[in-house]
Structure 1
Amino acid sequence: MPQEGKRIKGSAGERAQARDRLRAELLSAARALADESAGFDSVTVRSVADRVGYTAPIVYQYFANKRALLVGLVDVGFAELADRLGRAQCPEEYARLGGPLLAVATAYWEFAAENPHLYRLMHTLPDVPFGTPEAPAAARECFGVLKAAADLGAPDHPAAKFDGDAVADLLWAHLHGLVSLALDGRIKGGPGRARDLLRDLTISFAGIPMPVE
């Protein structure tokens, strides 16, 4: 039987940690339900509560409604993507994959391929601001990593004449466009060919001569 919730005991710090753990558990439950049901449309506050063994009012203590829960997941998704992209920005990954842009493109592809429903939510949830100071902090962090990779990997890109963010904007559009088409099954040849195209487009974006095979 679902629990109504218990008073969290302990010091103020311990209570805060317990609340953070339960909030993270609720987000993880929503994510797992989406993976099992091919998307977030069928995820409800009640189904999330049932998943963690609590009643719906417990969820409402942390999220005002389903949208608030989804916004929380958008933050989680961008935080994970920022971490993945950040870990790709190192000399070892540059050497293994062929430079900063290919390292970032590979990390971006792998995150989306491993988390397709979360990735779609991150980019399709209505009324989440982007490109403004009100954008989610983790999304701004992602853009910062992409900008660093673009500045390092394509310093002479023609789009740099527009403004300081233009090359990074184009890089994100390039990655997101091909990844989204691949996730939706719109690229001939399936994921394998789409990933090869992503690599070749990234090489072209960086202005690196294409290898002759």
Structure 2
Amino acid sequence: MPRAGKRIKGTSDERAEAREQLRAELLAAARSIAAESGGFDGITMRSIADHVGYTVPIVYQYFANKRALLVELVDVGFTELAHHLDRAECPTIQEREGGLLPATAAAYWQFAMADPDLYRLMHTLPEVPFGTAEAPAPARACFEALRRAVTAEAADGNPESREWAHDADAAADLLWAHLHGLVGLVLDGRIKGGGERGRILLGDLTRLFSQPRAPTSR
């Protein structure tokens, strides 16, 4: 791999693979620095270059500026979260957790606790669209996974949760809001009992979505 701007050699496929590997290495370096320094605010293009042993111009060949790198990290984060949520659909995991909804909530929790800095970045980077067609595709995939989870009991005929099937988008929005709120309180140290109690409350949270909604005025 180049260290100071040397040309990547090999076939076109080999060069493309080498470029993707270096791109992934730079993103991984940013995550490592954030974990060591308490977040992404303090990372710089130079610190990333120093971390992997490349010159700064190499980093700029892959990312126009720090924001471009952070936007890609948001995409990476939601891609990883989507994979976690998809794995919750495994029958073995559902059996262990007590169903698709609790399995999905557990997967969400585990992702956030494993990389809190990336999780925060995913939900705080300004001017990243959400709730529209312009939202990052992996974020939309996460929403769909939450939507499937929150309507699963209704689809299975659970009479207490059937009403969610009539407004699945609203149910998914509310589930995401509840999960994000609980995770945020735990990560910020603002909930009694910390992560251990937060994980217990996660089970109570999912049970809320197995109950019928109270009538609302229109």
Give the structure 2 partner of residue 167 of structure 1.
171
Give the structure 1 partner of residue 84 of structure 2.
84
Identity in percent? 66
CA shift digits 1:6-55 (9 cap, x unpaired): 10111111111110000000000000000000101111000001111111
Output the amino acid matched with 1:168. A
Deviation for aligned residue 1:157:
5.6
Higher mean alpha-carbon deviation, 108-117 vs 145-154, is at 145-154
| Structure 2 residues without counterparts, runs of 5 or longer | 156-160, 213-218
Give the structure 1 partner of residue 195 of structure 2.
191
Higher mean alpha-carbon deviation, 117-126 vs 2-11, is at 2-11
Output the amino acid matched with 1:180. G
Q: Does 1:51 align with 2:55?
A: no
Give the structure 1 partner of residue 42 of structure 2.
42
Higher mean alpha-carbon deviation, 3-12 vs 43-52, is at 3-12
Deviation for aligned residue 1:204:
2.1
Give the structure 1 partner of residue 215 of structure 2.
none
CA 1:97/1:63 → structure 2, altered by over 3 Å: closer, same or farther? Answer: same
CA–CA distance in 2 between the matches of 1:199 and 1:74? 27
Give the structure 2 partner of residue 14 of structure 1.
14
Query: Alignment length, in residue pairs?
Result: 206
Give the structure 1 partner of residue 183 of structure 2.
179
Give the structure 2 partner of residue 66 of structure 1.
66
TM-score relative to the length of structure 1: 0.92
CA shift digits 1:92-135 (9 cap, x unpaired): 11110111110001111111001000000000000000111111
CA–CA distance in 2 between the matches of 1:49 and 1:132? 35
Q: Does 1:144 align with 2:144?
A: yes
* Contact 1:4–1:55, Cα closer than 8 Å, also in 2: yes
Output the amino acid matched with 2:15. R
Higher mean alpha-carbon deviation, 198-207 vs 47-56, is at 198-207
Give the structure 1 partner of residue 216 of structure 2.
none
Give the structure 2 partner of residue 211 of structure 1.
none
* Contact 1:38–1:117, Cα closer than 8 Å, also in 2: yes
Alignment of 1:72-111 (within 5 A): 72-111=72-111
CA–CA distance in 1 between the matches of 2:170 and 2:177? 10
* Contact 2:154–2:163, Cα closer than 8 Å, also in 1: no
CA 1:154/1:196 → structure 2, altered by over 3 Å: closer, same or farther? Answer: farther
Cα RMSD over matched residues? Answer: 1.6
Give the structure 1 partner of residue 210 of structure 2.
206
Output the amino acid matched with 2:52. V
CA shift digits 1:132-186 (9 cap, x unpaired): 111111111111111111121355365555x441111111111111111111011
TM-score relative to the length of structure 2: 0.90
| Structure 1 residues without counterparts, runs of 5 or longer | 209-213
Output the amino acid matched with 1:126. P
